[in-house]
Amino acid sequence: MGLRKRVTYYYDEDVGNYNYGYMHPMKPFRMRMAHSLVAAYGLDKKMSIVRPPRASKQQLTRFHSDDYMEFLSRVTPEVAELEPEHASVYLSGDDCPAFDGVFEFCTISAGGSIAGAKRINHGDADVVVNWAGGLHHAKKNAASGFCYVNDIVLAILELLRYHQRVVYLDIDVHHGDGVEEAFYTTDRVMSVSFHKFGDFFPGTGHVHDVGVGRGKGYAINVPLRDGIDDDSYQRIFRPVMAAVMERFRPGAIVMQCGTDSLSGDRIGCFNLSMQGHAACVEFMKSFGVPLFCLGGGGYTIRNVARTWAYETAVLVGEELDPVLPYNDYYDFYGPEFRLDVPASNMSNANTAEYLQKTAAIIADQLRDLPHAPSVQIHAAPADWDGAASDNEADDCHLDADPERKMSARQRDARVVPLAELYDSDAEADADAADSSDAALRAPR
């Protein structure tokens, strides 16, 4: 039996406060629902839960243009109305509205992804989870497809400071165009996207779109048709990803786990069950390479929450009861109240012949690549913002103020249920009534 993976899970409760608009399909509230299930199942006790630092404008401009970030940092619904010429350039109409707090929402999403990449770089975690990330459509100069800041690109740029090669894997129903475009000319990032192709947003991701220049061959696109089910998906997913891992030998994997590829999604057109979606996560975990799992699409929010909670359990190596425990959003999961997203009986347009032909094209593409492209060895540079690893930073803060019992980061990291600090819920409730500081007591 292998050693249990060290898992870090980033979560900021404020992320659920933001609202794209009443009729908009993107609901940040789904992250709060997913976290409630994670806590209800007790998975928070199996991993390190950390509140991410907010990303700064300077950090965001490691990828995004200065002018775009300047506009995004000050835009409000009122500013967008007063400056339609700017809003039309940087935002994409109804898909990417200028909602209240949009920049703060982006700093939470990107902050978790940048911090998670650093945690892998410094050897503080084997697996990192940031369900608030995975916004793969955002471009260098503009928002796109519900995505304003491309936290994935920012995380990969951070990982490349320590790792010679990084695999980016996308199982969202939509093509991961923003990330592919960012690394289309490099052989240090291999982007692999399994997506619906055809008359479907964003319209990119043809099997013969393979990169240019030094990056030729390092963009892998797996265009799929409507109704793909678990068996068909695994029939092409496993051999393609096994070949990618064997040929490219990455130092880290960044996996976008968009759940709009699930059956019954409001926007998607695939027919994956929760178990079929999670099987992809489990397969990538099996390689033993540092793994960073991010969120992404997903618009039937009760199924998003179910699946991300289930995949969190896969990552920490826990089995979950299929009967949902009581949680803050229990009524959302009726009438069945079960941890399950079943496939439907929709027809599968992905024939065995089509999948074999696509897999053969990709196998030829990989065969033409050299094994593990070499990168000149060099010492890892200091972090952009001068930050050390979490443990080193904690030591510095405590050295500067010996009276403190813990650093600010350590306090933020204690995003745990009050009951975890006590032998029983009843004891926690009784003590909480006596002291507002009960949550800061050491575990018994």
DSSP secondary structure letters along 155-221: HHHHHTTT-S-EEEEE-SSS--HHHHHHTTT-SSEEEEEEEE-SSSTT----TT----GGGTT-EEE
Burial of 258 (0-12, 13-18, 19+ CB in 10 A): buried
User: Tokens representing 194?
Assistant: 């399994």
Across-strand partners of 168?
A: 191, 254
**Of these residues, 137, 163, 175, 195, which one is catalytic?**
137
Token representation of residue 59: 């950090």
Which strand ranges, in their side-by-side order, compose the sheet holding 127-130? 48-50, 7-10, 127-130, 291-294, 252-256, 166-170, 189-196, 219-224
Task: Read off the tokens for 264.
Answer: 């019954």
The closest of 165, 170, 177, 139 to 63, measured between CA atoms, is: 139
Question: Cα–Cα distance between 444 and 438 in angstroms, integer?
Answer: 12
Q: C-alpha 415: how far from its chain's center?
A: 19
Is residue 163 part of the annotated active site? The answer reads no
Residue 342 has a CB neighbour count (10 Å cut-off) of: 13
Name the residues annotated as catalytic.
Answer: 137
